[in-house]
Amino acid sequence: MLDALLSFAVVAGLLTLVPGLDTALVLRAALSRSRRHAFATAIGIGCGTLVWGAAAAAGVSALLTASELAYSVLRIVGAVYLGWMGFGMVRDAFRRRDAISPVEMDDSRSVLGAWARGVGTNLLNPKVGVFYIAMLPQFLPRGVSPLLMGCLLALIHNIEGMLWFTVIICAATIAKKWLTSDSVRRAMDASTGTVVLGFGVTLATSRP
């Protein structure tokens, strides 16, 4: 069991370091919003990871590989969600700075929205479920509950992700002192929104 955990930690750790949609969302929140928003987004992504891990271990996400219809439905919903979110970010890039007040940026509802964005982005990406259903069987030792082991592996992946996101958030917070201009905020929203839209198009045109 220890060998399985260590092996998975290495694989998951390497994948965590690869820049992707999750990294872009956390970085954008850290630079254009606040540290609280960034950590809320990261925690939301982590919650989605735990759900996918448990679902894969329980066999729920096996539907994504066994049923083309189930995969397609989740894929389309996810693509629409990413398209809507990306469009909103690009639109915000052209809003005046005073259109987003400090109260709006820091209130609890906004932080909760950042968490929900992280959860939604992760849960509506069927490729995360496919990843877990493909990877988990290789790290399930005999005599161990698949559900328990799946949750444990997802927790390891989650911890590694949070550590990496913490590094990104801290670095972005330091850099933010020199990147507080309105032009930088606009550029960050526009670039992240474009990346999210790109992921949405890729997801919409992908196949199981």
User: Among 63-72, 75-84, 141-150, which range has the highest average pLDDT?
Assistant: 141-150
- Of 20-29, 78-87, 148-157, 159-168, the range with the lowest mean pLDDT is 78-87
Q: How confident is the model at residue 95 (pLDDT cuts 50, 70, 90)?
A: low
DSSP-based three-state secondary structure for 74: helix
Phi-psi map region of 101: left, alpha, beta (phi>0 left; psi -120 to 50 alpha): beta
Query: Comparing 113 with 97, which gets the higher pLDDT?
Result: 113
Whether the predicted pLDDT of 182 surpasses 90 = no
- Chain segment 4-49, per-residue pLDDT in tens: 888 888 888 887 887 778 888 898 888 878 889 999 999 999 999 8
State the average pLDDT over residues 173-187: 67
Residue 14 near residue 30 (C-beta atoms within 8 A): no
Residue 57 near residue 146 (C-beta atoms within 8 A): yes
Whether the predicted pLDDT of 99 surpasses 50 = no
Query: Comparing 76 with 153, which gets the higher pLDDT?
Result: 153
CB atoms within 10 A of CB 199: 21
Nearest alpha-carbon partner for 128 in 198, 54, 197: 54
What gap in Å lies between CA 93 and CA 26, rounded to an integer? 17
Whether the predicted pLDDT of 98 surpasses 50 = no
Q: Which residue shows structure tokens 């694989």?
A: 11
Q: Distances in Å between the alpha carbon of 194 and those of 85, 86, 89, 145?
A: 10, 6, 8, 42
Cβ within 8 Å of residue 96, ≥6 positions away: none
Q: Distances in Å between the alpha carbon of 198 and those of 39, 85, 136?
A: 24, 11, 28
